[in-house]
Amino acid sequence: MPLTLDLPTLFAQLETLGQLGAEGSRAGRTRLALTDAEKAGRDQLVAWMRALDLTVEVDQLGNVFGSLRAATAAGDEEPLMIGSHIDTVRQAGALDGCYGVLAGLAIQRAFREAGVAPARRLVVAAFTNEEGVRYQPDMMGSLVYAGGLSTEEALETIGTDGTRLGDELARIGYAGSLPCGANPPWAFLELHIEQGPVLEAAGKRLGVVSGVQGISWQRITLEGEANHAGTAPMAFRHDAGYGAAATIAFLREQITAAAPGTTLATVGSLRVEPDVINVVPQRAIFTVDLRDPDEGRLHAAEAALAEFLTDLVAREGLKVTQERLVRFEPVRFHKGLRARIQRAAEAAEEAPFTLTSGAGHDAQMLARVAPAAMIFVPSVRGISHNPAEHTSEADLALGAEVLLRVVEDCLAVPLGVQP
Ligand code: GLV
Ligand code: MN
Ligand code: MN
C-alpha cells in the first residue's frame, strides 16, 4: 500500500508551532534557543512525537530525536535521519527549520497510519540552536553531534544576554543523557524553504541543493575616545562610530563589489557607546557576516577586511579587536542522495533546479559524519528571517511528497549498502 501524507495535519502543526513565541501578526514569533518560548516549542514537538508512539531521546546538548523503530534489529542499526531545527531568529517566520522537522513527523505518521514498520529506523531530529542568535556558533547542536565542537565547550558558551548555555539547557529541562553523536545515521535528509529568490526567479518549485556556501562571522570592537560633539574639531576626533560606518561602507563598496553576486557581507548588529546624541562614540561593537560559495574568495574577503581595519585604526587613532565567532568552509552534499532527490522530483513531474544554499543548515554539519542532502521549496519574494516569510501550501506539500519519495527510495536500499 503506498504511503500517503496527512497534509492537513502537517499544515495545522506548522500553524500551532508558529503560534508559540508569537508577538503579534506583524512581529512574527521569537523562539531564541533555550528560552521559555523555545521550551514551549520543544514541549509541543515532544508531545507530537509521543502521540506517534516514537521513542524520544534527548542528548547532552538538548538535540531531540524521535525514532520510529525498524522492522528488524539490523534496520535499527542503520537509521535514516530527517532533521532541522525549531529555534528561530528574532521576529521570524513560521517555516524556517520547523517545516523540515514537521515534514519528517508527517512521514513517520504515514508509516504509522499504514501500519508499516520501515526497513531502517526512521529518526526525526530537531537540533539545538541552529540560528546562533543567542549563542554562537550557529548550527551548534548539529556541529556538536558531528564532532566539530566538544559538548563541554558548547555547554560553556556564554550568550549575548550573559547566560551560560548549559545552565539554560538545564533550566528548561532539556539537558539529556544521550552522548552527542552516539548513533550517526546511515544518511541524513533536510527539507527546507529556500529563504532566497533563486527558485522563484527560475520559475521552479523544487530545488536540489548542491551544497552550502562558506560562512565567516566575527565581532569587531573599535575603541576611540568620547568627546564633546560641539567642541571637538573633526580632525581631533577618534570616532569609533565613524570607524564602524566606514567599515560597513568598505564591505559594500569594495569587498562585495569585487565579487558581485558571490561574496555577501552583512553588519546585522551594531552598537555604539555611550550612545548619546552629543558625544563622539567611544566604542563601536558590530558583527560582520561574510559568505561565499568559494573558500578562496571568502578567505580573500576576510584578509581584505583585516587590512582595511589595520589602515583605518592607524588613520583614525582607534584600537581594534576582532573576535572570530563562526568559520565554516563551503560544503558539498552527497552525489548519490542528490541523484535520488532529482529522480523523486522528476517522478513528481517537477524538473528541479540545482542551487547552492545561501543559509547555513544542520545538514552541512551532518555531512561530516554521514551522506547528507537537502531539498528546497521556494520562498515567496525570497524573504526569510522576517515574519513575512511565506511558501504556498501547494509548494510545501510538493516538498513533503518528494521527501517521502526519497525516504522510500532510501529505505529500498538493502541494509549494509551505502546510499
Ligand atoms: C542560519 O540560519 C544562517 O544561515 O545564518
Ligand atoms: Mn533554518
Ligand atoms: Mn534561519
Q: Which cell numbers hold the place of 261?
A: 553576486
Q: What is the pLDDT of residues 123-155, one digit of tens each?
A: 999 999 999 999 999 999 999 999 999 999 999
For cell 499544515, what's the residue?
11
Nearest CA to ligand 1 atom 1: 360
Using the mean position of ligand 3's atoms as its centre, give its distance from the Cα of residue 411 in Å: 29
Q: Residue 166's pLDDT band (boundaries 50, 70, 90)?
A: very high
- Give the pLDDT score at 182: 87
Establish whether residue 359 lines the binding site of ligand 1, counting it when its CB lies within 6 angstroms of any ligand atom.
yes
8 Å CB contact between 318 and 240: yes
Q: What is the pTM of this model?
A: 0.94
Using the mean position of ligand 3's atoms as its centre, give its distance from the Cα of residue 412 in Å: 32
- Give the pLDDT score at 24: 80
8 Å CB contact between 289 and 266: yes
Tally the residues of the chain: 419
* Residue among 84, 98, 131, 217 to mutate when testing ligand 1 (max atoms within 8 A of CB): 131
Please report which ligand is nearest the Cα atom of 126.
2
Using the mean position of ligand 1's atoms as its centre, give its distance from the Cα of residue 280 in Å: 34
Q: What is the pLDDT of residues 85-124, one digit of tens each?
A: 999 999 999 999 999 999 999 999 999 999 999 999 999 9
Establish whether residue 140 lines the binding site of ligand 1, counting it when its CB lies within 6 angstroms of any ligand atom.
no
Please enumerate in sequence order all residues whose Cβ is within 8 A of that of 339, keeping only pairs 6 or more positions apart, or say none: none
For residue 138, give the ligand 1 atom closest to its CA: 1
Q: What is the pLDDT of residues 174-233, one digit of tens each?
A: 999 999 998 899 999 999 999 999 999 999 999 999 999 999 999 999 999 999 999 999
- Give the pLDDT score at 350: 83
Closest-CA residue to 265 (of 277, 279, 276, 254): 254
Using the mean position of ligand 3's atoms as its centre, give its distance from the Cα of residue 385 in Å: 6
- pLDDT above 90 covers a percentage of the chain that reads 96
Establish whether residue 96 lines the binding site of ligand 1, counting it when its CB lies within 6 angstroms of any ligand atom.
no
Please report which ligand is nearest the Cα atom of 376.
2
Establish whether residue 341 lines the binding site of ligand 1, counting it when its CB lies within 6 angstroms of any ligand atom.
no
Check pLDDT > 70 for residue 1: no
Establish whether residue 401 lines the binding site of ligand 1, counting it when its CB lies within 6 angstroms of any ligand atom.
no
Using the mean position of ligand 1's atoms as its centre, give its distance from the Cα of residue 341 in Å: 23
Burial of 416 (0-12, 13-18, 19+ CB in 10 A): exposed
Please report which ligand is nearest the Cα atom of 194.
2
- Give the pLDDT score at 368: 98
Q: Residue 349's pLDDT band (boundaries 50, 70, 90)?
A: confident
Reply yes or no: is the peptide bond before residue 274 cis, omega within 30 of 0.
yes
Establish whether residue 131 lines the binding site of ligand 1, counting it when its CB lies within 6 angstroms of any ligand atom.
yes
Q: What is the pLDDT of residues 267-321, one digit of tens each?
A: 999 999 999 999 999 999 999 999 999 999 999 999 999 999 999 999 999 999 9
Using the mean position of ligand 3's atoms as its centre, give its distance from the Cα of residue 93 in Å: 9
* Residue among 87, 134, 138 to mutate when testing ligand 1 (max atoms within 8 A of CB): 138
Establish whether residue 33 lines the binding site of ligand 1, counting it when its CB lies within 6 angstroms of any ligand atom.
no
Using the mean position of ligand 3's atoms as its centre, give its distance from the Cα of residue 406 in Å: 24
Establish whether residue 78 lines the binding site of ligand 1, counting it when its CB lies within 6 angstroms of any ligand atom.
no
Average pLDDT, the chain: 97
Please report which ligand is nearest the Cα atom of 92.
3
Q: What is the pLDDT of residues 362-376, one digit of tens each?
A: 999 999 999 999 999
Using the mean position of ligand 2's atoms as its centre, give its distance from the Cα of residue 144 in Å: 17
Establish whether residue 360 lines the binding site of ligand 1, counting it when its CB lies within 6 angstroms of any ligand atom.
yes
Using the mean position of ligand 1's atoms as its centre, give its distance from the Cα of residue 414 in Å: 35
Using the mean position of ligand 3's atoms as its centre, give its distance from the Cα of residue 323 in Å: 22
Q: What is the 3-state secondary structure (H, E, C) of the chain?
A: CCCCCCHHHHHHHHHHHHHCCECCCCCCECCCCCCHHHHHHHHHHHHHHHHCCCEEEEECCCCEEEEECCCCHHHHHCCEEEEECCCCCCCECCCCCHHHHHHHHHHHHHHHHHCCCCCCCEEEEECCCCCCCCCCCCCHHHHHHCCCCCHHHHHCCECCCCCEHHHHHHHCCCCCCECCCCCCCCEEEEEEECCCCHHHHHCCCCEEEEEECEEEEEEEEEECCCEECCCCCHHHCCCHHHHHHHHHHHHHHHHHHHCCCCCEEECCCEEEECCCCCEECCEEEEEEEEEECCHHHHHHHHHHHHHHHHHHHHHHCCEEEEEEEEEECCEECCHHHHHHHHHHHHHCCCCCEEEEECCCCHHHHHCCCCCEEEEEECCHHHCCCCCCCCCCHHHHHHHHHHHHHHHHHHHCCCCCCCC
Establish whether residue 138 lines the binding site of ligand 1, counting it when its CB lies within 6 angstroms of any ligand atom.
yes
Closest-CA residue to 316 (of 255, 258, 237, 387): 237
